[in-house]
Structure 1
């Protein structure tokens, strides 16, 4: 009887709460009569009829039906604009067009309709992915990330990711040129202990010169590098970083942990060596913890994948990293009739030099592969580039050599054993022309036996800094240290400063 007058396709507002709808349906199941269920639930019989009809038709009685809207006649046109613009049309533009077509609704209704049309358009065109299962020894991906600024100069982070083992490497560099890329790949291969079959990167000019009819044209030096190491240098689809998502994630995580930001509370790096040390700590940490995809440490999986890699050539690829030069006995190389210094430890060895912009980059074959060891601004003949930090044993140049104490007698040995302060005191005293140096050294050793070596060594250091070498100065400083524990600002006695008490205190005498 009920089915005779019920209409499941009837449209109308459904405004009851979930609890009220349950009570209505329960009342009908108890009485099987619309009128009796309406009396029990305290609602109109038509309301009971509507909810029961929705349930019997297989529809959700708790779902509110969509009410007719003023924009409904224009929805087909909105969907057409969204499709023609590939989901990029703006709602305000669509609203102006609809108003010109006779739409009388407000812009809020248009924005909702455009948003729903865009969501439906994207749902039908959402990109799907096939899980990639890499094989050992096949794929290595690399990419560049912007590094921190050191000394006002920009740095780069070269990030490499071995696909099967998930092993990551991050190398800080000053530039991203072809030569630097070649040197970094050599270092990566030697760190991994082998070379994979394919090396994948993006479409940077250092890898892919251009695209002709969609076909990538490789950089000649990258092709030569692949032949040298026995691998194939490939590039991903243009403007599609998802095709090399593994290394993209490596770059993202490296920048999160290494580049100073408010989120990681990192301070600025004082030197490039400090950044290199931070990169090494980062690699050690991420490679030693289990990967969420494999459940194993990348360091352990690398031992397995290394068996599928082929051997790294003994001679590095040198075509893209410059010309060879020999480091002479003066720790310099000659380039364009100009001498450029290099750090110690490379005398008699071959290094590679190349020009990058206005600088000369010197690369050496170290235990970890090719690494940049020096970088100088280009100069002209007769104006060598010598860096003081390359000669730590020759401070202030070769003309002035700081004397190094060499104790011979028991008294000299006992005095210098007090500490670095004693060595500084002896050096300053010798340069100042202090008399009776040996007697004062013996007195310092005697005071140390009474007050302790640390106290006297600190007093000697303070005496050297203040220039106090007279008899009794050391005992006075040591006594002051014993009372206050530390000295304040030290003033060196000279013509501009005097230890004589002033007479300003007598100005108010008798007033």
Structure 2
């Protein structure tokens, strides 16, 4: 409208279309149209005031509300294309799908123009600038880090970044993973770097921090909630798919990736972190920030005294995980196994892991404590095993021999004979014979073992059969009794025809 008003003013002053076109305001063909309309409306009379912009726009302005004279070839598929575009499908994929599924024969440029029109119809959502009080908040995020080459192997890394929202001073660290342990440890080192803790930490919905992403009712990871309680900060999770809510740290991550990472060489992780700390203090912290127009370190000198003080004793970094007690009586955590009472087999337990200790809870009751094991390790408490397993583990050959010796020499002889077998181990048979004393007593068991030796049958089934039939009280054949010591010494016992016929 400014250009139209300038043209009308010059026409009212008597300038020709040639002179006006020479000034670059408008072409001669368009000036002819403007002069014709202005004369018809009486706008070139110097005695009359110029019309306002709305009136001029009504005559010369564009009319976007008028329908297009050319209908796009994509128009029949507008609704489907709109759904795909809203879902984030790129234009080339939409064009290929139209050709493949709908027989579309138009070009990609038609699809691209349709996407532009749809975007214009949707409009650009308006946002607002978030203001933060001093020492109120910090934002946290991970970004892709440099690839390290260690011993000929390439290691992918990430960069943990925590930025104070008011001063823009930041803590950054190169890490090898995004596990809960790394997440918690980086928070502790960041608070120690700042010398204090902000009131709240703004994060996205990373799995190491949030187990349920929700706009209204997010659920924090139990380990992270424990850390927040220990340091006194509150967790402020961004709504799902809305990273602009933590745009300060997002910009900080991009700044590190573009300014620090390129054109640098790193020997290992420690060297990368050393260079990163120097860069934060010497370059990033001393630059004039584009938003605050002040140096982050200068503003940090004001913010630091207002941060929450750190606790005298740092809270223990502990990771909580929901685990299941398997049939073997063990849970698995970080490829190591830990036992729990056998009565809880099949139930879900809470596992609390620190750097040195593993604790297991059932319904908030502590049921087991173990020293932390390396990958592939196992720690088993014998009392956690079922009674049968405990008996098997505790009643070894030495226990069986010692207990048999207490019962009597014949029982001891039977157990020795079982363990002297060159083919079978016979541990369960020996345990079974020794346990028979609970039912029949030492005297009957000793007599039954003596009879089994007399008949050269030192077996559990023989001793058990003698006791069941009550044969232990019968007299032993003399030759068998006379040669019992010979059997125990390893010789072979033989009986005469008379004893065979009797028994």
Normalised TM-score (structure 1): 0.48
Q: TM-score, normalised by structure 2?
A: 0.48
Instruction: Compare the two structures and name the one with the higher helix fraction.
Output: 2
Q: Tell me which structure has the larger Cα radius of gyration.
A: 2
